[in-house]
Every structure is written in structure tokens, then in C-alpha cells.
């Protein structure tokens, strides 16, 4: 294992956290997940559909899960009983009605969030079919319902068959349609061995024949778990959410004691208050806004991941993503394009650029690898070489590239002269030249060594003609860093996140790529043990670590990481080890996942700040109204100059209910995250949501008071 620190980028620039679109073995990162519900945040159909669920949540056994809203429910029941005892008390009925609406609005926020997940789950249910499996028993097959399969069973799937359960391909290779899971119409290849052996129940085999070993029990398949997750049924409260619930419950108890002890003082002052007024005061003072929206914020956070085709095993994983301070990113396919490309043609002394470009193109026409095709493109587009095609060169003897020879080329006759050109690994080309009595110029070796030291891969281009065999120059292959990666890493750095590139490459190559990409550190020649050791060292320093992986050898590190994102194309071991799964198998999406996690935490903090701040304004509305008659001096606290005591109290209760509805879109969509330091973010949130939470109720309550005062008999 070799580590090193990469040089920092010099000219960073801002860029969106959105991952770039993919074009291989997966859809674009921003393509909607299956079953994505349409409509806006206040889609009328969705609201109407969620209303019955909101009413069902009035069950005290459900409401007790939210201490704040449970107190509101009790207050609603108490004021209802009092209103029934005095049917002529319009004030009591008004307060009762709005307390019930407050409770229903709180449940509606959660129901809408859950309803969006249920819409996705319904689509997934339609993809789940009862399949008949061809189970292998000894030397023969038997047809059994897919529900009877057990872990370890071997089943045969041929073209047209639906995979009956989750498993691993142990024999054969096939093209598989996974659109039921990922929504991507392009088929993917699944084969035995390697990191692309996992298949999912409900997907369809399009070609060939494979034998699959079942790895999950009926009812516990990937689709079953996905349905449960997107519905929210499997969502458990995260540690931060539990801590915030405890804080809200504590504040509720404090305000409850304050309101209960207020009555004796009011009686002593000759201003005894009705139970209805005390219930209204309690509901307005406790943090009902965040208490109503807290669950919806958590559900919406998981929903945002699902809409990006990422499944989180629990809300804890989403929350952990927001606190991540170290990102482990694989080099190939994540930071780089994954295929080395020709970047430069370097001729030796005495050879022109045009000669080298023509020879490099000719020798690469028989090389169908991405590297070979990139040499042809480079020669034609950058160096203006004449376009050559294999079909136009009659009588040419092509030498195809193979892993054994590590060379490609052509023997041909042009204008009566015989020529042979070769391009390939330095050792193979040098041996070819020397076998033909040629020699390799010292500057060719020097140029190849310089490219290797810079982290690139040198390929030699050689020619044999009437003048003998000789090396014409060097092709510089390099693993191309994806566009915009430097800027994205700079943005992560502003977020306080340290990036580490993990690769099996040698240290020279790793350092060169790390410096070009702008990562903070790198781990070269990494083994599974090295990855585990790195994660444990980071965690020992109090940092949370996130990483991606798809192979069985990644499973230990995925399990150790605080956020382990397994690729859908990966092995079953990797999927079981991670606490998130990317259906698109796009490793760069880890950066977007971190952004979603931070957005969840910021949304929760912003709305908590707003909720506590707006309680202050409601205090100035209700307290002066309750005691102004007994203590005229308190009228100075009636800053809003509200019309009457009844109007002031009712206006505060009405505002308390309506503000929940107004904040539902923000809770579901999330507060926009902008990379900045923690201190700057705190100041921004206090200024925007703290000051906003203080000012908004003054304006809202005054407006409602003006409307109420226009009603005959009230104003």
C-alpha cells in the first residue's frame, strides 16, 4: 500500500453536485426512478389521496410517536368536550376547529411524503410477477413456483424467462433487461465470476442461457425490500431525529408546566383563564411547526435518494451521508473515464510528426480496443493524418491485437514497396524490431521512460521497410480525468470533505491522476486490507467515511464504512455489505448522495430554527391578550395592536395551523444546500430562518386579526 498527498488545484471554480450522465451500463444519474410520482408538491390529486391517511393517523397509538403533536391532539379533545358543554361559545368552537386542523395538517405533511413513496411502490408491485422456476435437481429440471425456491437452489434461465429470485450467475453469460428495476431500457450483461454476476428477481433474460444460484428467501427479494423502503414502512428514526424528538418533548413538558402553573397566578390576579385559552396558549408555545414536519423531512430525504435511483437501507445512512468528512473514490470509472486514451504522439529524432501519425493510425486499425480506436482518432483529428480504412487497403495482412502479443499492425504493399508497421507495448515492439535486425534509438527509450514517470502508458510505433526496422516514436496513453472533476472536488473541499482516490495502479500513475483531478490524497496499489485499514484510521480520528464498491473484495470495506454505496451491477456480497445501493451503478453519484444527506440535515436545522423563533411572536400575541385587563401595563407588549383578546388568541392559533401547510413544500423539497463553512452556514440560517421565523408570525397574525375583526360580532 502506498499513499500520497495530491497537489491542490490552483484555480477552482464552482460546479453543481449533480453527477454527469453515464452512457455505459447504466442510465443518467438524473433520470427519475421507477414509479416517480408526477405533479408538484401540492398536486391536488396527491393531497386528496393523502387526506384519508392523515385522518387515520389521528389514532392516539400513532400520534404518541410525536410527543408534540400528541399534546396538540389531547388539547383538541379537551376543547371539543368543553365546546360541546357550551354549544353557544363561538370562541371555543373556533379554537377547537383550528386545533383539529393543526393536528390534521401535521399528519397530512407526513401522509403526503409517504404517499409519494407509495406511488413508486405501486409501480414496483406491478413489476413483481409470480414466476415458474426451472429448478435443477441432480441431472434433471423440475418446474416449481418461484415462491418455493430456497437459498442455494440452482435455477435455469433462458431467453424470454423471468428471473424467479435474487441470485448469482454461476454458469453462462446472458443479456438481461433490468428496466423493471432501474427504468433503463438498455440491457446489461450478467456472467459467472467477476463483479457482474448478480441478478435480481423480476428481471428478464433476453439472450443465451445462465444458471443462477438463489441467494434470498421468498418475500425478502430486492424488489420486496425496495417496496418496503420506498413506502417508508422500513424507515426508522435516526439518532439525530431521536435526539431532536427528545429536545422537543422536553420543551413541551417545560411549557406544559408553565401553562399549568399559570392558572393559580391568573386566579390570584383576578384574571382567571378558561381551559380553552390555556390549551390555545400551550399549543402556540410548544414547537408544533417542527414537531409536525419532522417525520416528513426524514421521509422526503429518503424519497430524494429513491428519485435518483439510490436505495438507503435506513434513514441513518442518509443522515450519516450528511456528516461525511472523508470520501473514498475509486479511480477507474469514477474519477477517470476508465479507458486509457491516446493523448499525444511523440516522434523520435529524425521522424516527422506526419510520418508517426500515419504509421500509428495504420498499426491501430487492427486494434479494436478503446485504446486502439483512440489512437486512430488522435492521428486523424489532431495531427491531420489522412483517413485510412481497412477495406480500402487491398492485399494488406492485418495483425490483430491480442493480450498475448500486446501488439497490432499491418503488412502491406504500397507503390510497389513493402512495409510493416507495429504498435504496442514497449517490450513487445522492441523485441519485434530486434528480431528484424533493427535497433531502438536511445531517445525512444528516454521518451517512453518520461511518459511512464508521469503516470502515463507508453506505446511504441515501429516501421520495417527497405531501410530496415526502427522505432518511429511513442504514443502517450493516459487515463483521462472526467470533465469537471477538479471543480467538484474543490466544492467538496469547501464542504469540509476530504477526498481520497483509491486505485490498484502504481504510485507514479496514481500521483499523476490525483494531481490532475485535484483530490486531497490517494491510496495506490490498494488491496482490500489496505482499504479497511484506511477507513479504520479515518474513523479513529473521529471522521465519518463514505465509499463505493461493487466486488466481493469491496464487501469488508463497504461494511466498515459509515456510508457504503454498493453498485447494482455488483456481487451479492457487496450489496449485502453496503447500507445504500445505486441502481444506476454510477460511482460518481456518491458525491450527490453526500449533498442530499447534507440537505436533509440543513432542512431539519433550518425548520427547527424557524419553529422556535416563531413561538416568540405568538407569545407577544397571546400573553398581553390574556392579562391586559388585570395588568394594563402589559398592553405595551401588544406590539401588533390586535383588535381584541379573542381575536389575538384565535389569530395565533390560526397562524399556527396555516404555517405548517405553508412549510410542507420546503420540508419535502428540502432547503437548498450551498457549500460553505459551518460557521458561515450557521450565520446564514440564523439570519434567514431565525429572523424569518421571528418576523413572519408578526405579519401573519396581524393579517389574520384584521380579517377576523371584519366578521360581525367578533371584531
Instruction: Pick out the residues of the known binding site for Mg(2+).
Output: 550, 554
What is the phi-psi region of residue 338: left when phi exceeds 0, alpha when psi lies from -120 to 50, beta otherwise? left
How many whole angstroms from its chain centre is CA 679?
A: 25
Nearest-angstrom CA–CA distance, 572 and 201: 13
Helix (H, G, I), strand (E, B) or coil at 226: helix
Nearest to 69 by CA among 294, 291, 298: 291
Q: What is the CB neighbour count within 10 angstroms for residue 605?
A: 18
Contact criterion met (CB below 8 Å) for 162 and 153 = no
Spatial neighbors of 17 by CB under 8 A, at least 6 apart, are 488, 491, 591, 592, 594, 595
Q: What is the DSSP string of 482-524?
A: PTTHHHHHHHHHHTT-EEEEE-SS-HHHHHHHHHHHT-SEEEE
How wide is the angle at C-alpha 301 spanned by C-alphas 494 and 24, nearest 5°?
Answer: 75
Look up residue 531 and give its three cell numbers.
482499504
Look up residue 443 and give its three cell numbers.
531517445
Q: Which of 153, 303, 330, 520 is catalytic?
A: 330
Nearest-angstrom CA–CA distance, 446 and 448: 5
Name the binding residues. Answer: 367, 371, 401-408, 423, 550, 554
Contact criterion met (CB below 8 Å) for 614 and 291 = no
Size (the chain), residues: 715
Q: Strand locations in 586-640, DSSP E?
A: none
| Block residue for cell numbers 430562518 | 689
Contact criterion met (CB below 8 Å) for 499 and 520 = yes
Contact criterion met (CB below 8 Å) for 327 and 497 = yes
Q: What are phi and psi of 567, to 5 degrees?
A: -80, 140
Nearest-angstrom CA–CA distance, 615 and 214: 56
Spatial neighbors of 714 by CB under 8 A, at least 6 apart, are 90, 644, 646, 647, 708
Name the binding residues for ATP. Answer: 367, 371, 401-408, 423
Relative to beta strand 563-567, strand 580-582 is parallel
Nearest-angstrom CA–CA distance, 123 and 136: 32
Checking 16-22 for CB contacts under 8 A at 24+ apart, the result is: 17/488, 17/491, 17/591, 17/592, 17/594, 17/595, 18/592, 19/586, 19/588, 19/589, 19/591, 19/592, 20/482, 20/483, 20/484, 20/588, 22/584, 22/586
| Block residue for cell numbers 460511482 | 587
Nearest to 548 by CA among 310, 363, 340: 310
Nearest-angstrom CA–CA distance, 228 and 302: 12
Please indicate whether residue 330 is annotated as part of the active site: yes
Look up residue 713 and give its three cell numbers.
360580532
How many whole angstroms from its chain centre is CA 240?
A: 19
Look up residue 57 and give its three cell numbers.
393517523
Q: What is the CB neighbour count within 10 angstroms for residue 91?
A: 19
| Block residue for cell numbers 408555545 | 285
How many whole angstroms from its chain centre is CA 485?
A: 17
Which positions are annotated as active-site residues? 330
Amino acid at each position: 500500500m502506498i499513499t500520497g498527498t495530491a497537489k491542490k488545484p490552483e484555480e477552482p471554480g464552482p460546479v453543481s453536485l449533480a453527477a454527469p450522465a453515464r452512457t455505459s451500463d447504466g442510465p443518467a444519474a438524473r433520470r427519475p426512478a421507477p414509479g416517480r410520482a408526477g405533479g408538484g408538491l401540492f398536486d391536488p390529486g396527491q393531497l386528496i389521496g393523502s387526506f384519508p391517511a392523515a385522518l387515520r393517523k389521528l389514532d392516539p397509538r400513532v400520534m404518541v410517536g410525536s410527543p408534540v403533536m400528541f399534546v396538540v391532539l389531547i388539547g383538541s379533545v379537551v376543547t371539543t368536550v368543553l365546546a360541546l358543554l357550551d354549544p353557544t361559545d363561538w370562541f371555543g368552537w373556533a379554537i377547537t376547529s383550528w386545533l383539529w386542523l393543526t393536528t390534521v395538517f401535521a399528519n397530512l405533511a407526513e401522509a403526503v411524503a409517504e404517499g409519494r413513496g407509495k406511488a413508486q411502490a405501486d409501480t414496483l408491485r406491478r413489476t413483481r410477477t409470480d414466476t415458474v422456476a426451472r429448478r435443477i435437481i441432480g441431472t434433471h429440471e423440475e418446474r416449481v413456483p418461484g415462491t418455493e425456491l430456497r437459498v442455494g437452489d440452482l435455477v435455469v434461465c433462458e431467453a424470454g424467462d423471468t428471473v424467479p429470485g435474487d441470485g448469482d450467475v454461476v454458469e453462462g453469460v446472458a443479456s438481461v433487461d433490468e428496466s423493471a428495476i432501474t427504468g433503463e431500457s438498455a440491457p446489461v450483461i450478467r456472467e459467472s465470476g467477476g463483479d457482474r454476476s448478480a441478478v435480481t428477481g423480476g428481471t428478464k433474460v433476453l439472450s443465451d442461457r445462465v444458471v443462477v444460484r438463489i441467494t434470498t428467501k421468498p418475500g425478502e427479494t430486492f424488489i420486496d425490500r425496495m417496496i418496503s423502503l420506498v413506502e417508508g414502512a422500513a424507515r426508522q428514526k435516526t439518532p439525530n431525529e431521536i435526539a431532536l424528538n427528545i429536545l422537543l418533548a422536553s420543551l413541551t413538558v417545560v411549557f406544559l408546566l408553565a401553562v399549568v402553573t399559570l392558572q393559580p397566578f391568573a386566579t390570584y390576579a383576578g384574571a382567571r383563564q378558561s381551559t380553552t385559552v390555556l390549551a390555545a396558549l400551550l399549543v402556540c408555545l410548544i414547537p408544533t411547526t417542527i414537531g409536525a414536519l419532522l417525520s416528513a423531512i426524514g421521509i422526503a430525504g429518503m424519497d430524494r435518494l429513491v428519485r435518483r435511483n439510490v436505495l438507503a437501507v435506513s434513514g441513518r445512512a442518509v443522515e450519516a451521508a450528511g456528516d461525511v468528512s472523508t470520501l473514498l473514490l475509486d479511480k477507474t470509472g469514477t474519477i477517470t473515464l476508465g479507458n486509457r486514451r491516446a493523448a499525444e504522439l511523440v516522434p523520435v529524432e529524425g521522424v516527422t510528426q506526419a510520418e508517426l501519425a500515419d504509421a500509428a493510425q495504420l498499426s491501430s486499425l487492427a486494434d479494436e480496443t478503446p485504446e486502439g480506436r483512440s489512437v486512430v482518432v488522435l492521428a486523424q483529428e489532431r495531427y491531420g493524418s489522412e483517413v485510412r480504412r481497412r477495406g480500402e487497403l487491398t492485399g494488406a495482412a492485418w495483425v490483430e491485437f491480442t493480450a498475448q502479443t500486446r501488439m497490432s499492425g499491418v503488412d502491406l504493399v504500397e507503390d510497389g514497396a513493402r512495409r510493416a508497421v507495429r504498435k504496442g507495448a514497449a517490450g513487445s515492439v522492441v523485441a519485434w524490431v530486434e528480431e528484424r535486425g533493427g535497433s531502438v534509438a536511445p531517445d525512444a527509450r528516454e521518451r517512453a521512460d518520461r511518459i511512464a514517470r508521469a503516470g502515463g502508458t507508453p506505446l511504441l510505433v515501429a516501421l520495417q521497410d527497405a531501410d530496415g526496422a526502427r522505432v518511429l516514436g511513442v504514443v502517450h496513453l493516459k487515463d483521462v480525468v472526467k470533465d469537471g472533476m477538479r471543480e467538484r472536488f474543490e466544492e467538496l473541499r469547501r464542504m469540509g470533505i476530504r477526498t481520497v482516490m483509491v486505485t490498484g495502479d502504481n504510485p507514479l500513475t496514481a500521483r499523476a491522476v490525483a494531481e490532475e483531478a485535484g483530490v486531497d490524497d490517494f491510496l495506490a496499489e490498494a488491496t482490500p486490507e489496505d482499504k479497511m485499514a484506511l477507513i479504520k484510521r479515518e474513523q479513529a480520528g473521529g471522521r465519518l467515511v463514505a465509499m463505493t464498491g461493487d466486488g466481493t473484495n469491496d464487501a469488508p470495506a463497504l461494511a466498515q464504512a459509515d456510508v457504503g454505496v454498493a453498485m447494482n451491477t455488483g456481487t451479492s456480497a457487496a450489496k449485502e455489505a453496503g447500507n445504500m445501493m445505486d441502481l444506476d451503478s454510477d460511482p460518481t453519484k456518491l458525491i450527490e448522495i453526500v449533498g442530499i444527506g447534507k440537505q436533509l440535515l440543513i432542512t431539519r436545522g433550518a425548520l427547527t430554527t424557524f419553529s422556535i423563533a416563531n413561538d416568540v411572536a405568538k407569545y407577544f400575541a397571546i400573553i398581553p391578550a390574556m392579562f391586559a385587563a388585570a395588568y394594563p401595563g402589559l398592553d405595551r407588549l401588544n406590539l401588533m395592536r390586535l383588535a381584541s383578546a379573542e381575536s389575538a388568541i384565535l389569530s395565533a392559533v390560526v397562524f399556527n395551523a396555516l404555517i405548517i401547510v405553508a412549510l410542507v413544500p420546503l420540508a419535502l423539497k428540502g432547503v437548498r444546500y450551498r457549500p460553505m463553512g459551518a460557521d458561515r452556514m450557521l450565520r446564514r440560517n440564523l439570519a434567514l430562518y431565525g429572523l424569518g421565523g421571528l418576523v413572519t408570525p408578526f405579519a401573519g397574525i396581524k393579517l389574520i386579526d384584521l380579517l377576523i375583526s371584519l366578521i360581525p360580532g367578533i371584531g
